[in-house]
Structure 1
Amino acid sequence: MTGAIRCRGFQSRLCFASVSGDISHYRILGQLGRGAMGEVYRAVDQRLGREVALKMLPREVEGDADWQTRLLREAQAASALNHPGIVTLYDIEHDEGRSFLVMELVSGEPMSEVARKGVTWERALELVAGVADALAAAHALGILHRDIKSDNLMVTARGQVKVLDFGLAKLRADVVSRTSQMQAVAPPPEADDSLADTLVPRTQPADSQPGWDRKALRSDLTQAGQMVGTPAYMAPECYEGHTDVRSEVFALGVVLYELVVGKRPFDRENAFATMAAIQLDDPEPPSKAAPERGIPPKVDQLVAKTLAKAPAERFADMTELAARSAA
């Protein structure tokens, strides 16, 4: 395997290797993009004769235990899921000093591009219902994605949605236990009850989210109260380090707004202003933000409920959001 090292962005301290040639029994065809955990490449499995996607850590952090554990956690999350709306993990491997995930190659375009091109509000609801259904399956198994955004959602050539990139996912301890037989690139992190509050906001009783037992939560490799996610899609409570399924309802609400209007609801002149808008401002109803699109009141109501500031005022879970979006 060969590669030229390059750095992305003046703010980044990480350099990524542009990989070419072979790694293990995979022939690298080209780079697909960069995600939260590293770079993704298109490759051919030379044993099975199929195209796959390989996700690799940056060279500089390849030996870092935390990054290795994050990669393992993403593999554990993906391997626990079997849903047509979630990218399939085939394997996790280590070769020539590099750890990488072998995943289903999803051909299509990111939902951010779909939003940029423009879709009808009816199609937007179909897409969001598909994502909500996939995330409901993940939540039912004790997995929070924690980075729902249009760039992490793909629309295939057949029009199906796929949820990608579980690099920031949070797993309940029992999920880790169920997947502990997989080949590990690093030992899994110890369970840490001090991080339980990042799943259920402290303003809510610990048992207010069925299935999310604070004592059964897994360490997410962050400090308690630390923000995790992409700011423009993060619910108000996420800025205090708290997140649960309703925070993901909010994030998907931002995606819905992006699809029906063509822009995100809280984007401002800079990141700090965007964060302030999420905390303080009510979004303009889609029907007023894009009057030329003929958006009906029911979409305004759906958006308003998903983007409510208080978690208790949103849809309780993704199952409810999927049902309302499909109605």
Structure 2
Amino acid sequence: MDTLPGNGDEEDAALGAALAAMRPEQTDPFARSMHASVRRSLLGATSEPFRLGRFTILDHLGGGGMGTVFVAYDPDLDRKIALKVLRSQGERGRREVLREGRALARLKHPNVVTVYEVGVLDGRLVVAMEYIDGENLRRWLQTPRRREAILARLIEAGRGLAAAHAVDLVHRDFKPDNVMIDAAGHARVVDFGLARPVEDGSEEFETTQEASPGRSVSTLGGTPAYMAPE
């Protein structure tokens, strides 16, 4: 897939790269159509916005290990939302996005992002969640802040994690990029894509494939730079 033709606009290039990364194959007609439609819409080449199910795509918000997040409009709720589109398909991807949706649906806390809907739209797994108008903690900390303000935000993020633990969930990828500071200045924990119910008996390492009879290879969930050494 071609990247967005640009005039030096880094945001356009980032959007093109994000949409390209969503394609599991070069022949993916859905991703090709989405790329072309969003490109025309955002560059003003057409008055017709790109739609995914009932959602109208407004902008590219960001991306993570599981998928790409767009700002979208939900006509049923008459508000902006964050729409996460799963990057890869298959049974494993389906299980992971549904796990994220279940994890978030169980949490109702002022310091945790709210999930509205999890499902399949146009053949793609999506999570519709609350749109946080703000910036992540990493970017927020790049501006000089009073120590009291920083501690207050960290405490709020900790309360969000505590709420997850109270319903037997562990985030497993907690880091500054996964904490948003909203328009009111409060911390909101986001991206529970690696969240896992404690009661499922899982360990921190997730078995992914069998290396040889009687042996398996495991992958580590999380971001190494923000994980405990052990």
TM range (shorter): 0.7 to 0.9
User: Cα distance 1:197–1:46, how it changes in 2: closer, same or farther (>3 A)?
Assistant: closer
Q: In structure 1, what residue type is equivalent to 2:153? A: L
Whether 1:38 aligns to 2:67 is yes
Whether 1:124 aligns to 2:150 is yes
CA RMSD of aligned residues (A): 2.8
Partner of 1:127, secondary structure, is helix
Shift, 1:221, TM fit: 6.1
Whether 1:230 aligns to 2:223 is yes
1:36·1:165 contact (CA, 8 Å) conserved in 2? no
**Mapped partners of 1:54, 1:14: distance in 2:** 19
Partner of 1:85, secondary structure, is coil
Partner of 2:112, secondary structure, is coil
Match of 1:169 among 195, 200, 203: 195
Matches within 5 A, 1:78-93: 78-93=104-119
Q: Percent identity?
A: 35
User: Cα distance 1:68–1:113, how it changes in 2: closer, same or farther (>3 A)?
Assistant: same
Query: Greater Rg, structure 1 or structure 2?
Result: 1
Q: Could you list the structure 1 runs, at least 4 aligned residues long, displaced by more than 6 angstroms after superposition.
A: none
Aligned to 1:54: 83
RCO greater where, 1 or 2, for CA within 8 Å and sep 6 or more?
1
2:204·2:221 contact (CA, 8 Å) conserved in 1? no
Q: Deviations over 1:248-278 (max 9, x none)?
A: xxxxxxxxxxxxxxxxxxxxxxxxxxxxxxx
Match of 1:73 among 81, 99, 117: 99
Shift, 1:171, TM fit: 1.1
**Mapped partners of 1:28, 1:146: distance in 2:** 29
Partner of 1:78, secondary structure, is helix
2:53·2:121 contact (CA, 8 Å) conserved in 1? yes
Aligned to 1:110: 136
Q: In structure 2, what residue type is equivalent to 1:127? A: R
1:7·1:14 contact (CA, 8 Å) conserved in 2? no
Q: In structure 1, what residue type is equivalent to 2:221? A: V
Which ranges of structure 1 fall in alignment gaps of 5 or more residues? 174-190, 200-219, 238-327
Q: In structure 1, what residue type is equivalent to 2:159? A: D
Aligned to 1:198: 204
User: Cα distance 1:51–1:84, how it changes in 2: closer, same or farther (>3 A)?
Assistant: same
**Mapped partners of 1:12, 1:116: distance in 2:** 30
**Mapped partners of 2:66, 2:172: distance in 1:** 13
User: Cα distance 1:225–1:94, how it changes in 2: closer, same or farther (>3 A)?
Assistant: closer
User: Cα distance 1:197–1:138, how it changes in 2: closer, same or farther (>3 A)?
Assistant: same
Partner of 1:236, secondary structure, is coil
Q: Deviations over 1:130-164 (max 9, x none)?
A: 01111001011111101111111111111111001
- The TM-score, its normalising length taken from structure 1, stands at 0.53
Aligned to 1:152: 178
Partner of 1:77, secondary structure, is helix
